[in-house]
Amino acid sequence: MAFGIKPITRELLVRRHVIPGIMGVAITLLMIWAGIYQIDNVGLLRTVEYASYDIRLRQTLTHQADSRVVIVDIDEKSLAEEGRFPWPRQKMADLVNNINAAGAAVIAFDIVFAEPEERSDRRLLDDLLEGPLSQSSDFVAVAKQKIAELDGDTRFAQALSQAPVVMGFFFDTATDAESIGHLPDNGADATDYLQAGVGFGYPAESYGANIKQLQQAATTGGFFNTRLDPDGVLRRVPLFTQHGTNIYPLLSLEAVRLYLGEPGWQLATDTLLGKKTLDYVVLGDYRINTDSSAQMLIPYRGGARSYQYISATDVLSGQAGAKELKDKIVFVGTSAKGLLDLRPTPITTVYPGVEVHATVADGILNGDIRAETLEKDGMDLILLLSVGLILSVLLTLIEPLRAIAVAIIAMALVVAINLYAWSAGIVLALATPLLTIAMLLGTNLAYGFLFESRDKRQLQSMFGQYVPPELVDEMSQNASSFNLEGESRLMTVLFADIRGFTSISETVNPRELKDLLNRYFTPMTRIIHHQRGTIDKYVGDMIMSFWGAPLDDPDHARHGVHAAMEMIHKTEEMKAELDELGYPEIRIGVGLNTGPMNVGNMGSEFRMAYTVLGDAVNLGSRLEGLTKQYGANILVSEDTRRNIDDVIFMEVDRVIVKGQTRPITIYEPLCLKEELTKELRDELVLATRALKLYRSRDWDNAEMQFVSLMQRYPQRKLYEIYIKERIAWFRKNPPPEDWSGEFIHTSK
């Protein structure tokens, strides 16, 4: 099995793609179940979804309240002027009469009058009529007249009977509460809907309604209590509440119906999964979007007091009249803090309850009601399923940075779709799909991290002693493609040996020798690792390393030559350090060869080593040995030299080394191309000319050239070798006719 990038294996497919993909699908299905069908029972998810709804709502407030809706407010000013609440029914009668006289279209009370008025002066007259004064005809006549004048409920009822009034009342879901008052007669029989499975939220067990005298005098009635969401915030109101088999309308719904002059409302249903379900409510030409429990999202316009507020005391005193009230839907309620009709909303934590009803009426009249429609769950399901399944697959196929980018794009797409639906009046889940994307990304990254960490540990255990950590990191990107099995590859091998090490070891003690070798091996190893090489072994003073395994390296020859040149340079730098320590000078020779080699874990059952074998390896070792004979720091074969164009080489010789029959040309790397000087260029030209004369058997002219080179460049031992050994030998022992310039070395 090769060590480079490999076709994906079944094991890798399962571990890297199938398992995280299955995890992603499981997360998607879990979020669908929790976020769509069990949202009310999953507190954390529900809270986050509420928060996302509140943010969207606050960012899209119109701050444009309908002027047809006003509020007559029993505020702090009214309490200061008229006295504490509840006020006498006569005062309430005066309030209704004044509002009606101003031309209001509808008066809706966000207040309940559940008990008859109790007055101490009336009670005193009643007591006197039953006492001794009951025999005085004059007293009885006056007392009865006064009692009639003090009958606030009757006067209030008379005022109600002369105006278009919706009386408010409340329902209670507590089973132990007692019902009081008289319900209006506008309850609609919902038996058919209930039998078909249509629900209207929590059925009411009891109620607190107005006394019969007032309710019957009024035009109609509607409940005004609302239901807070589980987090204690008011976001929606039920348009209907079930009591027994009847359903009763919300105060604001009934006020709008009376304002429009509609005889009633209708419930539009649909069939979903074989079950009859409420879809929306129809009021004349108006469609009111609701959820399947007839709950309507409150279309808040802005903060508290977005509507026109008129102090009740101003209406009673005549300071406010037709200009403010004519043809308006007038909600009568309280905003005074002591009367406790304040609600927490997504807009503000203190919002008058009466303004909630004004807002609902506004939304019905203008039709801009966003809703969690019957189609919402289906749309949420499609969006969540699509995003979840696509990302479950896609995130397993791409690298982490791209996965993060894809997740961000997916989130942006979900937000864009959500906002488009929001603008169309449909409220889709936002937090759930965003959390799903985040969970898919997090799970994928976490799994990938654990997966790669395990692979990295395996690679570290296999190759950590041979290659640097940065290469282990790189290998971990495709960990399954690396193992210790043997194979044949085209590679480059390097041998480096300290010259005269035997003599050096005789001049220092063992402790100093160990320290000397450590000081030498450490920077040499660092250089090899920096050039992406693999350390094969240290044998005494010798370093063996190779390039091209376990990580594939197309530039293995160049990296090897660069490493060799850096090693020579480093040994030069170490002279001063070693001299300061009293250690002998170190000089090294380096040989490199490129060719096919067997690489893998080799050895016995007692000890294994990741190494390379083959003739190409042996040739590299021979070249290192030849550096001593040629006086060269580095020698490389023609196969190593072939594909390197950023290094200047000098051709040294054509040789047949011991143990081989094929002649090879060997070179010495001198410097990087950008470091080439004019002097060195001239030397290379002359040396090339001398070799050409030598190989053409022109011994005399070749000798003259080499002598000239030796005089100009005495530090180069090579020219002396050609003069004293090669030319002198071949003059006495002419080479055969097929000689191509090679020299046979008989020693290692």
What per-residue confidence (pLDDT) applies to 661? 81
Tokens of residue 49, six digits = 């979804």
- Rounded to 5 degrees, φ, ψ at 635 are -130, 135
Q: What strands lie across the sheet with 266-272, from one edge to the other?
A: 266-272, 275-283, 286-289
Sign of CA dihedral 385, 389, 395, 398: negative
Q: What is the mean pLDDT of residues 683-710?
A: 94
Lowest mean pLDDT among 10-24, 274-288, 665-679: 10-24
Please, which pLDDT band fits residue 459 given cuts at 50, 70 and 90?
very low
418 near 428, Cβ under 8 Å? yes
Could you tell me if residue 318 is left (phi over 0), alpha (psi between -120 and 50 degrees) or otherwise beta?
left
What per-residue confidence (pLDDT) applies to 299? 94
Average per-residue pLDDT in the chain? Answer: 86
Q: What is the mean pLDDT of residues 683-709?
A: 94
3-state SS string for 556-595: HHHHHHHHHHHHHHHHHHHHHHHHHHCCCCCCEEEEEEEE
317 near 78, Cβ under 8 Å? no
What per-residue confidence (pLDDT) applies to 409? 95
Burial class (CB in 10 A: 0-12, 13-18, 19+), 197: exposed
What per-residue confidence (pLDDT) applies to 452? 60
- Scored b (16 or more CB within 10 A) or e, 507-525 reads eeeeeebeebbebbeeebb
Q: What is the mean pLDDT of residues 474-480?
A: 48
3-state SS string for 668-697: EEEEEHHHCCHHHHHHHHHHHHHHHHHHCC
Angle of helix 376-394 versus helix 400-423 axis, rounded to 10: 170
Measured CA to CA, the distance from residue 514 to residue 167 in angstroms comes to 103
**pLDDT at 206 > cutoff 80:** yes
Reported as half-sphere exposure (CB side, CA atoms, 13 A), residue 250 has a value of 27
Residue length, the chain? 748
61-70, 141-150, 341-350, 439-448, range with greatest mean pLDDT:
61-70
- The helix (H) or strand (E) run that includes residue 440 is helix 431-463
String of DSSP letters for 223-283:
E------TTS---EEESEEEETTEEEEBHHHHHHHHHHT-S--EEEEEEETTEEEEEEEEE
Residue whose entry in the numeric block shows the structure tokens 């950008």: 674
**Local structure of 207: helix, strand or coil:** strand
**Which pLDDT tens digit goes with each residue over 71-92?**
999 999 999 999 998 899 999 9
240 near 250, Cβ under 8 Å? yes
**Which pLDDT tens digit goes with each residue over 492-545?**
999 999 999 988 888 889 899 999 999 999 999 999 989 989 888 888 899 999
Number of neighbouring beta carbons within 10 Å of residue 141: 10
Please, which pLDDT band fits residue 722 given cuts at 50, 70 and 90?
very high
36 near 584, Cβ under 8 Å? no
In the chain, the N- to C-terminal Cα span, in Å, equals: 34
Q: Any idea what DSSP says for residue 294? A: S
Q: What is the mean pLDDT of residues 222-236?
A: 91
Q: Is the peptide bond before 550 cis (omega within 30 degrees of 0)?
A: yes
**pLDDT at 631 > cutoff 90:** yes
**pLDDT at 365 > cutoff 60:** yes
How do 165-172 and 220-223 pair as beta strands? parallel
Which one, of 374, 174, 183, lies nearest residue 268 by Cα?
A: 374
**pLDDT at 3 > cutoff 50:** no
Number of neighbouring beta carbons within 10 Å of residue 439: 17
Q: What is the mean pLDDT of residues 93-103?
A: 96
Lowest mean pLDDT among 31-45, 546-560, 649-663, 708-722: 31-45
Tokens of residue 630, six digits = 């040629």
**pLDDT at 481 > cutoff 50:** no
3-state SS string for 345-407: CCCCCCEEHHHHHHHHHHHHHHCCCCECCCCHHHHHHHHHHHHHHHHHHHCCCCCHHHHHHHH
Percent of the chain with pLDDT over 70: 86
Measured CA to CA, the distance from residue 183 to residue 172 in angstroms comes to 13
Number of neighbouring beta carbons within 10 Å of residue 576: 9
Tokens of residue 403, six digits = 């996965």
Please, which pLDDT band fits residue 479 given cuts at 50, 70 and 90?
very low
How do 106-109 and 165-172 pair as beta strands? parallel
**Local structure of 537: helix, strand or coil:** strand
**Which pLDDT tens digit goes with each residue over 551-597?**
788 999 999 999 999 999 999 999 999 999 999 999 999 999 999 99
Tokens of residue 379, six digits = 């749309």
Which one, of 241, 281, 234, lies nearest residue 257 by Cα?
A: 281
Measured CA to CA, the distance from residue 65 to residue 302 in angstroms comes to 8
Q: Any idea what DSSP says for residue 478? A: G
Tokens of residue 181, six digits = 């008052």
Measured CA to CA, the distance from residue 202 to residue 291 in angstroms comes to 14
Measured CA to CA, the distance from residue 424 to residue 441 in angstroms comes to 30
What per-residue confidence (pLDDT) applies to 610? 72
- Rounded to 5 degrees, φ, ψ at 186 are -100, 15
Nearest-5° angle of CA 180, CA 184, CA 188? 120
Amino acid code (one letter) for 230: P
What per-residue confidence (pLDDT) applies to 135? 61
What per-residue confidence (pLDDT) applies to 515? 93
Lowest mean pLDDT among 3-17, 404-418, 584-598: 3-17
Reported as half-sphere exposure (CB side, CA atoms, 13 A), residue 142 has a value of 7
Measured CA to CA, the distance from residue 595 to residue 593 in angstroms comes to 7
Could you tell me if residue 284 is left (phi over 0), alpha (psi between -120 and 50 degrees) or otherwise beta?
left
Nearest-5° angle of CA 156, CA 157, CA 162? 100
**What CATH number has the domain spanning 489-670?**
3.30.70.1230
Measured CA to CA, the distance from residue 446 to residue 490 in angstroms comes to 37
234 near 298, Cβ under 8 Å? yes
Record the pTM: 0.62
333 near 71, Cβ under 8 Å? yes
**pLDDT at 144 > cutoff 70:** no
387 near 437, Cβ under 8 Å? yes
Of residues 696 and 400, more confidence is placed in 696
- The helix (H) or strand (E) run that includes residue 549 is none
Which one, of 615, 614, 619, 620, lies nearest residue 599 by Cα?
A: 614
Domain residues of the chain, as ranges? 10-61+375-458, 69-366, 489-670, 677-740
Q: How far is CA 304 from the centre of its chain?
A: 36
**Local structure of 647: helix, strand or coil:** strand
Q: Any idea what DSSP says for residue 3? A: S
